[in-house]
Each structure stands twice: as structure tokens, then as C-alpha cells.
């Protein structure tokens, strides 16, 4: 299944059965969103770049009569020399917007640290490993878990976070 890039590619709501909806979110601007419905249908989305598009997507993929839970990667307040302050500010701002949107929709949100979801899934970054190599390893892990989905670097973390939510709820 290819990642859905725009809302019009999402099937109509009527096709989904009410029940448990688990959502994983990598909140970075280059991140993504993964959704698992009660029917075990999984959809992925690139992170919308506009707050209104994000709100519309959040409203479209959740159901008021379902048990919805959103797992959002908790962003660190400081990432050392790896990420400059301006980038960390944007990441934190994006995370806050995401939390606010889902809270406004009365959707339960759970913040999960990268070390927590990665560790629970048996993923460990080797000492000295380049960030790009680590991202490729995460993508490969997501592809192994969801072989029928076209996993991208944008959606890999979201799929793994969603899987963490499904497995360790």
C-alpha cells in the first residue's frame, strides 16, 4: 500500500468499522503519521506542513465513537550539538500543535520518548552510528513489520511508534 499524501486519497469514513484506532506520530516537519484501524487496516501520511491540513487530517482519521489513542514521540528539550536551537524550537512547536489538535478532538494522547519505543521494539543505535544510517535501519525495521506498506523515511518512525502503541498499550 502506498502512503497517502492528501486527504482525498483516504477512503470515506463509512468504510471503517468502529473500534480501536491507534495512531503513531513522528512530529518532525519531515515526519509522518501512521494509523491502525480496528479492521487492521494501516494507513500512512507524510506530516502535513500546514496546521489547517493537520487539523483536517486528524479530524478525518479519528472517530468520536471509537477508542482512539495517539502516541506522539516526545521531543527532547535539548539535543546537544546535533540539532540547533531554531530547529528544536520548530520541533517543539510542531509537537505542541499536534497535541493541541488531538486534545481539541478529545483524543487520548500519550507522549513516548524515543528511547522507550525503540528499546521496547529491540532497536538500538550503535555507538558512533551516523544519523542517516540509523534512520535507514529504522525504515528497514518498519518495513519488516509492515511488508505490505511502502515505508518511507518520513513514515518509518510513525509506523514504529504506532506499533509500539499496539504492542505495549
- Between CA 40 and CA 38 the distance in angstroms is 5
pLDDT (0 to 100) of residue 56: 86
Render each residue's pLDDT in the chain as its tens digit; 169 residues: 455 556 666 655 545 566 789 999 999 888 999 999 877 889 999 999 888 888 888 988 887 777 889 999 997 665 555 655 566 666 677 888 999 999 988 899 999 999 999 999 999 999 989 989 999 999 999 999 999 999 999 999 999 999 999 998 7
> Looking at residue 96, what is its pLDDT?
86
Residue with cell 516526545: 74
> What's the pTM?
0.86
3-class secondary structure, 157: helix
Query: What pLDDT score was predicted for residue 1?
Result: 47
Helix axes 156-168, 131-145, angle to 10 degrees: 50
Distance from the first to the final alpha carbon of the chain? 25
At 14 the pLDDT is 46
pLDDT of residue 17: 61
Pick the CATH number of 7-168 from 2.60.15.10, 3.30.420.10, 3.30.1360.20, 1.20.950.20: 3.30.420.10
Domain ranges of the chain: 7-168
Amino acid at each position: 500500500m502506498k502512503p497517502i499524501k492528501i486527504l482525498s486519497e483516504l477512503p470515506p469514513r463509512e468504510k471503517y468499522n468502529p473500534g480501536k484506532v491507534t495512531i503513531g506520530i513522528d512530529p518532525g516537519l519531515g515526519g509522518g503519521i501512521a494509523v491502525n484501524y480496528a479492521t487492521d487496516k494501516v494507513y500512512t501520511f507524510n506530516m502535513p506542513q500546514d496546521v489547517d491540513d493537520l487539523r483536517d487530517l486528524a479530524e478525518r482519521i479519528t472517530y468520536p465513537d471509537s477508542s482512539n489513542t495517539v502516541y506522539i514521540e516526545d521531543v527532547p528539550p535539548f539535543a546537544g550539538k546535533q540539532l540547533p536551537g531554531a530547529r528544536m524550537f520548530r520541533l517543539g512547536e510542531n509537537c505542541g500543535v499536534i497535541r493541541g489538535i488531538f486534545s481539541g478532538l478529545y483524543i487520548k494522547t500519550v507522549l513516548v520518548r524515543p528511547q522507550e519505543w525503540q528499546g521496547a521494539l529491540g532497536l538500538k543505535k550503535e555507538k558512533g552510528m551516523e544519523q542517516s544510517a540509523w534512520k535507514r535501519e529504522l525504515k528497514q525495521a518498519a518495513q519488516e513489520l509492515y511488508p505490505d506498506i511502502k515505508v518511507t523515511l518520513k513514515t518509518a518512525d510513525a509506523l514504529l511508534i504506532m506499533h509500539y502503541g499496539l504492542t505495549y498499550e
